[in-house]
Amino acid sequence: MKKASSNKQILVRALRTTQGQGIDVFAFFLFGSDVTRVADISRIERDDGDELKGFQRSEIKSHVKSIVDYLDSEKVLFPNAIILALGNEVEFRQSRGPIPENMVEVAQGGTLTIPVLPEGRRVAWIVDGQQRSLALAKSKNNRIPVPVIAFISPDIETQREQFILVNKAKPLPTRLINELLPEVDVLLPRDLASRKLPSELCNVLNRDPGSPFHKLIRRESVANNQQGVVVDSAVVDSIKRNLRPPMGALSQYKNSVETDTKAMYKTLLAYWSAVRDTFPDAWGRSPNTSRLMHSAGIKAMGALMDQIMLRADSTSNPEKEIRDSLTRIASHCRWTSGVWEGLNWRWNEIQSTTQHISRLSEHLIRLDRELSRPSR
């Protein structure tokens, strides 16, 4: 490993191979303190035009400190590779020399030159290993040789794709993955692909001024959204249920040939606008003062949507049937005060647990079924 004396670039011994559609991939070592000298951390956020930028979550200080404590100890073993995306400004020069007989040529050796630029203009971005890289920069033991795998990709889309796929099996926040998924076009594993459409619909519900959820949904990229009262994962999970065939309210608009997202969104608008109008005193408030805006309330009302829409879609005026159905159960709901009859729960005792969500959902569905029967 050789650091250039000009301090404007770092030269390292590297191996180069190609993957995918001719993408250069490198393997090399850097001193721990040099990782954040050459690579920026692309934080997830939204710009003034509400466009998603970056992909990395915020620094977890306790996690970083625990890594620093380990790095500052004796006899440190650090074989975990940092994954970087590199811009086209890096330069690789292949070494010349005889090739040993019967050598498996899967990579070429050479030197990789990485420019060192100020923060925000660096030619590399950390795809995996953010917390480790921050710890390496803070450690007293900053001359640890750290393995690095890097690929050439200056575009944010490929970086997001790799970030999601690399971290799929790791305990990353579900909300972070959910928000990134709509920005990714790569072929995803089945479990991630099933979360992409609900997250896209959640995005639109939050951005559309005509949506009852306009700016009420908390997303990872908008940390300073004071209006946000609904956790995005609750909305995403609710929509996922609505998409399940054959009874899901949105499943009729999704098949193997095409997906009618406009019809899905129109249905979501009709139902949740009716929910807002039926419970105006409970809508848009903090979950601490309204369990309708709590994860449990959103998921339970999302479950009720399947049954109501099944009936509404068979009528000549679906929107009227939705509103009539919600009006019938309104007097039995205790979103902001009182005790739920049949459940014996005070309004603020409802929690975001599987048992509470299931029981509340079943209670609302049973109420709707009983109250919608024609009187004899």
317-340 pLDDT per residue, tens: 999 999 999 999 999 999 999 999
- 92 pLDDT band, cuts 50/70/90, is very high
pLDDT at 353: 94
Helix (H/G/I), strand (E/B), else coil: 217: strand
Range scoring the smallest mean pLDDT among 242-246, 328-332, 347-351: 242-246
**111-142: pLDDT as tens digits:** 999 999 888 788 888 877 777 878 888 888 87
Distance CA(40)–CA(203), nearest Å, equals: 27
Q: Which of 119, 108, 101, 96 is nearest to 26 (CA)?
A: 108
**Least confident range of 19-23, 150-154, 172-176, 205-209:** 172-176
Tell me the pLDDT band of 2, cut-offs 50, 70 and 90: very low
Q: What percent of the chain has pLDDT over 70?
A: 78
- At 186 the pLDDT is 45
pLDDT average, residue stretch 357-373: 95
For the chain, give the longest Cα–Cα distance: 95
Residue among 291, 242, 234, 228 at smallest CA distance from 271: 242
Higher pLDDT, 47 or 246: 246
Does the pLDDT value for residue 224 go beyond 80? no
Looking at the chain, the whole-number percentage of residues with pLDDT higher than 90 is 42
pLDDT score for 97: 75
Q: Is the pLDDT of residue 289 over 70?
A: yes
Q: Taking a C-beta distance cutoff of 8 angstroms, is the pair 282, 292 a contact?
A: yes
Report whether pLDDT(273) > 90.
yes
pLDDT of residue 57: 45
Parse the chain into domains and list their residue ranges. 2-166, 174-371
pLDDT of residue 319: 95
- Is-contact 74 56, C-beta < 8 A? no
Q: Residue 48, exposed/middle/buried by CB under 10 A (0-12, 13-18, 19+)?
A: exposed
The predicted model gives 75-104 an average pLDDT of 82
**pLDDT over 90 at 368, yes or no:** yes
Q: What is the pLDDT of residues 52-75, one digit of tens each?
A: 444 344 444 665 677 777 777 767
Sign of CA dihedral 271, 272, 274, 279: positive
Q: What is the pLDDT of residues 17-27, one digit of tens each?
A: 988 778 889 99
| pTM check: above 0.85 | no
Are the C-beta atoms of residues 366 and 307 closer than 8 Å to each other?
Answer: no
> Is the pLDDT higher at 311 or at 77?
311
Angstrom distances, CA of residue 8 to CA of 5, 152, 281: 8, 20, 61
- Worst-scoring range by mean pLDDT, 218-222, 251-255, 273-277, 333-337? 218-222
